[in-house]
Structure 1
Amino acid sequence: MGMPVAVKDNICTADAPTTCASAMLRDFTSPFDATVVKLLNNAGAAIVGKTNCDEFGMGSLNINSIHGPVVNPYQPHGQSTLWEDRERRAAGGSSGGSAAAVAAGMCDAALATDTGGSTRLPASYCGVVGLKPSYGLISRWGVVSFADSLDCVGVIGKDVVSAERVYDALAQFDPQDPTAIPESTRTRAHELCSHHMFPWVSAVQNSLVGLKIGIPQEYFPTSLEPSIVAPLRRVLRALKGRGATLVPVSLPNTSYALSAYYIIASAEASSNLARYDGVQYGLHVPPPPDALPSTPAETYAYSRSAGFGAEVKKRILLGTYALTADAFDNYFLKAQRLRQLIRDDFHRVFAVPNPLASASAPPTSAPDGVHVLLHPSAIRAAPRLDQAAALAGSLDNYVQDVLTVPASLAGLPAMSVPAGVVEAGAEGAGWPVGVSVVGQWGCEAMVMRVGKVIEEVQRENA
Structure 2
Amino acid sequence: MSLLREAEKCIVNQRTFSGLNAFITPLQRSGPWLDSVRAADDRRQNGKSISPLDGHLIAVKDNICTRSMPTTCASRILDHFTSPFDATVVQKLERAGAVIAGKTNLDEFGMGSHSVHSRFGPVRNARGDQELSAGGSSGGSAVAVATEQCYAALGTDTGGSVRLPAAYTGTVGFKPSYGLLSRWGVVAYANSLDTVGIMARSTAVARDVFRVLNHHDHRDPTNLSPQTRDRITSRLSSPPLSGRLTSQPLRIGVPLEYNLAELSPSVRDTWRKTLTNLQNEGHSIHAVSLPSTKSALSAYYVLAPAEASSNLARYDGVRFGTRATGPDSDDADARSGHLYAKTRGEGFGAEVQRRILLGAFSLSADAMDNYFVQAQRVRRLVQEDFNRVFAMENPLSRKTSSNAGDKDPAVDVLICPTAATTAPTLSSVMPNGLSSSSSSTLSAYLTDVFTVPASLAGLPAVSVPVAAADNNEGSDTVGIQVIGQYGDDEFVLKVAELIEQV
* Preserved contact between residue 112 and residue 136 of structure 2 (Cα < 8 Å): yes
1:232 partnered with 2:285: no
* Preserved contact between residue 328 and residue 340 of structure 2 (Cα < 8 Å): no
- How far apart, CA to CA, are the structure 1 residues paired with 2:333 and 2:468? 60
Residue in 2 that maps onto 1:386: 427
* Preserved contact between residue 199 and residue 210 of structure 1 (Cα < 8 Å): no
Residue in 2 that maps onto 1:410: 457
- How far apart, CA to CA, are the structure 2 residues paired with 1:190 and 1:119? 25
Deviations 1:392-415 (A, max 9, x none): 642111000000000000000000
* Preserved contact between residue 77 and residue 315 of structure 2 (Cα < 8 Å): yes
SS where residue 252 of structure 1 aligns? coil
Deviation at 1:193, TM superposition (A): 2.8
Deviation at 1:390, TM superposition (A): 6.1
Report the AA paired with residue 244 of structure 2.
W
- How far apart, CA to CA, are the structure 1 residues paired with 2:337 and 2:109? 23
* Preserved contact between residue 133 and residue 426 of structure 2 (Cα < 8 Å): yes
Residue in 2 that maps onto 1:83: none
- How far apart, CA to CA, are the structure 2 residues paired with 1:416 and 1:99? 12
Greater mean deviation of Cα atoms: 221-230 or 405-414: 221-230
2:95 to 36, 42, 45: 42
- How far apart, CA to CA, are the structure 2 residues paired with 1:295 and 1:349? 60
Q: Which runs of 5+ in 2 are unaligned?
A: 1-52
Residue in 2 that maps onto 1:159: 202
2:302 to 263, 270, 273: 263
Report the AA paired with residue 350 of structure 1.
F
* Preserved contact between residue 418 and residue 479 of structure 2 (Cα < 8 Å): yes
Report the AA paired with residue 311 of structure 1.
E
2:384 to 344, 358, 381: 344
Shift in alpha-carbon separation, 1:314–1:431, aligned structure 2, 3 A: farther
For residues 244-255 of structure 1, what are the structure 2 equivalents within 5 Å? Answer: 244-255=283-294
Residue in 2 that maps onto 1:4: 57
Residue in 2 that maps onto 1:451: 496
- How far apart, CA to CA, are the structure 1 residues paired with 2:150 and 2:451? 25
Residue in 1 that maps onto 2:444: 397
* Preserved contact between residue 189 and residue 441 of structure 1 (Cα < 8 Å): no
Shift in alpha-carbon separation, 1:424–1:140, aligned structure 2, 3 A: closer
- How far apart, CA to CA, are the structure 2 residues paired with 1:4 and 1:344? 40
Residue in 2 that maps onto 1:460: none
For residues 264-343 of structure 1, what are the structure 2 equivalents within 5 Å? Answer: 264-285=303-324, 286-287=326-327, 291-294=331-334, 298-343=338-383
Deviation at 1:299, TM superposition (A): 2.5
For residues 353-372 of structure 1, what are the structure 2 equivalents within 5 Å? Answer: 353-358=393-398, 361-363=399-401, 368-372=409-413
- How far apart, CA to CA, are the structure 2 residues paired with 1:362 and 1:448? 26
1:168 partnered with 2:211: yes
Deviation at 1:202, TM superposition (A): 2.5
Deviation at 1:431, TM superposition (A): 3.9
1:435 partnered with 2:480: yes
- How far apart, CA to CA, are the structure 2 residues paired with 1:245 and 1:194? 23
2:243 to 192, 199, 205: 199
TM-score, normalization by structure 1: 0.92
Report the AA paired with residue 416 of structure 1.
S
Residue in 2 that maps onto 1:63: 116
Greater mean deviation of Cα atoms: 230-239 or 250-259: 230-239
- How far apart, CA to CA, are the structure 1 residues paired with 2:87 and 2:336? 32
Shift in alpha-carbon separation, 1:278–1:354, aligned structure 2, 3 A: same
Report the AA paired with residue 373 of structure 1.
L
- How far apart, CA to CA, are the structure 2 residues paired with 1:181 and 1:259? 28
* Identical columns (%): 50
* Preserved contact between residue 137 and residue 171 of structure 1 (Cα < 8 Å): yes
Report the AA paired with residue 451 of structure 1.
A
* Preserved contact between residue 388 and residue 402 of structure 2 (Cα < 8 Å): yes
Deviation at 1:421, TM superposition (A): 2.6
User: RMSD of aligned C-alpha atoms?
Assistant: 1.7
Residue in 1 that maps onto 2:148: 105
Deviations 1:10-61 (A, max 9, x none): 0000000000000010111100000000000011111110000000000000
* Preserved contact between residue 354 and residue 364 of structure 1 (Cα < 8 Å): no
* Preserved contact between residue 328 and residue 338 of structure 2 (Cα < 8 Å): no
SS where residue 21 of structure 1 aligns? coil
Q: Which runs of 5+ in 1 are unaligned?
A: 80-85, 204-208, 458-462
- How far apart, CA to CA, are the structure 2 residues paired with 1:197 and 1:163? 22
* Preserved contact between residue 216 and residue 373 of structure 1 (Cα < 8 Å): yes
Deviations 1:235-276 (A, max 9, x none): 111111111110100000100000000100000000000000
SS where residue 283 of structure 1 aligns? coil
Shift in alpha-carbon separation, 1:109–1:186, aligned structure 2, 3 A: same
Shift in alpha-carbon separation, 1:302–1:353, aligned structure 2, 3 A: same
SS where residue 279 of structure 1 aligns? coil
Deviation at 1:297, TM superposition (A): 6.7
